């Protein structure tokens, strides 16, 4: 992960942390989503989107899972203005 992408990731993550403090997102799932995005392996076998995921967590709770939150962060990163390195 290059520096500009890492900067975008943490900028987006910090905005999501604010939403977590307001109770809009589960903080534990947000932290796990950050771990997924920092690692080299994104679990494609669940086919996560911003609206649905095939994992058990989303299936049983009906809430956004860590995979969905990771996709949401990726989408927001791609919509954000590029950060100068």
Output the pLDDT for position 3. Answer: 61
What are the contacts of 66-72 at 24+ separation with CB within 8 A? Answer: 66/29, 66/30, 66/32, 66/33, 66/36, 67/33, 67/36, 67/43, 69/16, 69/25, 69/29, 69/30, 69/32, 69/33, 70/33, 70/34, 70/36, 70/37, 70/42, 72/16, 72/33
Residue 84 lies in a domain: no
85 lies in some domain: no
pLDDT above 90 as % of the chain: 61
Q: What's the domain count of the chain?
A: 1
Global pTM reads: 0.83
Q: Which range of residues forms the domain containing residue 21?
A: 3-79
pLDDT digit string, tens, across residues 56-78: 999 999 999 999 999 999 999 88
């Amino acid at each position: 992960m290059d520096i500009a992408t890492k900067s975008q990731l943490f900028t987006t993550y910090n905005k999501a942390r604010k939403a977590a403090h307001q109770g809009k997102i589960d903080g534990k799932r947000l932290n796990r989503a950050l771990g997924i995005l920092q690692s080299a392996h994104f679990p494609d076998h669940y086919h996560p989107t911003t609206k649905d995921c095939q994992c058990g967590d989303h299936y049983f709770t009906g809430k956004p899972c860590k995979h969905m939150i990771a996709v949401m962060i990726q989408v927001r990163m791609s919509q954000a203005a590029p950060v100068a390195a």
